[in-house]
Amino acid sequence: MLDPVGFEAAFFKTSSLLVPTPSPTPSVSPIPTVIPNLPRYERIGDTGGKTLWVVFAIMLLSTLAFIAMSWRVPVQKRLFHVITTLITTFATLSYFAMATGDGNSYTHIVVKEAHKYVPGTVEHVFRQVFWARYVDWSITTPLLLLDLAFLAGMDGASILVAIVADLIMVLTGLFAAYGKNDGQKWGWYAMACIAYLVIVYQFVISGRRAAMSKDSSTSKLFASIGGFTLVLWTLYPIVWGIGDGARKWSVDAEIVAYAILDVLAKPVFGFWLLFAHAKKATAIEGFWSHGLSSEGSLRVGDDE
């Protein structure tokens, strides 16, 4: 591959003589068929950095608020408080990592363009990918699904399928972000979308059926907060397709879009769920509230 700097220097070099001097052994270098450009870097800017710090603060304050709210209810009714607190806790760690410069790397993208009357061009693009976001999603999104599943009273089989599909969705999204060509990138993206449709099916069909068997306030809450979550989660792959996928957005624009969605899908979702379901929360006894206690211990006089 021809060095563009050397090519430019050789191209514009002229002789000090007015008349060109003949050379006994003239040689002509082959004309390149592909002209390379200098690498282009797509990285975070000031707007993206400030956004990460703002969302970190929001997640941290939300976590502290959820902890305070959980102390005000007995342990038998803390199931949703604990899950929601864990969601914003992991989000806080993720955003702190991204804001301080950790949890990211560059993916190398080669863009080739063929032209009809001029040589083709090739461009090397290095785009910053925040893999810490995918680690966050692999933990927090299953917890979000547990919140919805427990609210609706879904069966264990449906919950398991939804969580596995969710993990597949996040992992294939990560693979797509690091795809070296369009085939890899959009192939993984298509798999992630299929996994998302599996999640939608489980909650729209099984979740709605289970919620309908509960009291009217719980079923209405599930319908409203579930629909809210469905709309938000549908926007995530759209943002990915415009940002990491087609690279129509800058890294800063992508960060801002994900930040808005994360705040709505985690702190706003959590406050809505806890305030709306506080009075209707069902007490959970047994291991959740009292541990193993004396169950399984040997007593004097029992047979071995």
Flag whether pLDDT at 289 surpasses 80.
no
Q: Which two tokens stand for residue 12?
A: 């514009």
What is the largest distance, in Å, between two alpha-carbon atoms of the chain?
A: 117
> In whole angstroms, how far apart are CA 254 and each of 32, 178, 241?
37, 16, 10
C-alpha–C-alpha distance, residues 136 and 205, integer Å? 27
Burial of 94 (0-12, 13-18, 19+ CB in 10 A): buried
C-alpha–C-alpha distance, residues 231 and 244, integer Å? 20
Burial of 284 (0-12, 13-18, 19+ CB in 10 A): middle
Alpha helices in 72-181 (DSSP H): 79-99, 131-152, 156-177
Q: Which of 75-84, 135-144, 184-193, 235-244 has the lowest mean pLDDT?
A: 75-84
Mean pLDDT on 181-206? 94
117: amino acid identity, one letter: Y
Give the three-state DSSP class for 69. Answer: helix
- pTM of the entire predicted model: 0.80
Q: Which of 62-71, 268-277, 281-290 has the lowest mean pLDDT?
A: 281-290
Tell me the per-residue pLDDT of 148-168, one tens digit each, with 9 for 90 and over. Answer: 999 999 999 999 999 999 999
Query: Residue 122: which H helix or E strand, with range?
Result: strand 120-129
Could you tell me which residue, 64 or 287, shows the higher pLDDT? 64
pLDDT given at position 6 = 47
Q: Please name the fold of domain 32-281.
A: Rhopdopsin 7-helix transmembrane proteins (1.20.1070)
Flag whether pLDDT at 238 surpasses 90.
yes
Tell me the per-residue pLDDT of 89-132, one tens digit each, with 9 for 90 and over. Answer: 999 999 999 999 999 999 888 777 766 666 667 778 889 999 99
C-alpha–C-alpha distance, residues 287 and 161, integer Å? 25
Instruction: Give the rounded percent of residues in the chain with a pLDDT score beyond 90.
Output: 59
Flag whether pLDDT at 179 surpasses 80.
yes
Mean pLDDT of the chain: 84
pLDDT-based confidence at residue 277 (cuts at 50, 70, 90): confident
Mean pLDDT on 262-272? 96
Contacts of 64 (CB under 8 A, 6+ apart): none
Could you tell me which residue, 123 or 247, shows the higher pLDDT? 247
pLDDT given at position 7 = 40
Flag whether pLDDT at 302 surpasses 80.
no
Mean pLDDT on 8-20? 44
Mean pLDDT on 204-219? 89
pLDDT given at position 17 = 42
Contacts of 25 (CB under 8 A, 6+ apart): none
Q: Which two tokens stand for residue 222?
A: 């599930």
> In whole angstroms, how far apart are CA 263 and each of 51, 179, 206?
11, 28, 27
Q: How many CB atoms lie within 10 A of CB 85?
A: 23
The 8-class DSSP code of residue 36 comes to: E
Q: Which of 20-29, 239-248, 287-296 has the lowest mean pLDDT?
A: 20-29
Flag whether pLDDT at 275 surpasses 80.
yes
CA nearest to 218, candidates 281, 261, 272: 281
C-alpha–C-alpha distance, residues 112 and 127, integer Å? 16
Task: Judge contact between 65 and 89, C-beta under 8 A.
Answer: no
> In whole angstroms, how far apart are CA 217 and each of 15, 152, 227, 238, 277?
88, 11, 15, 32, 9
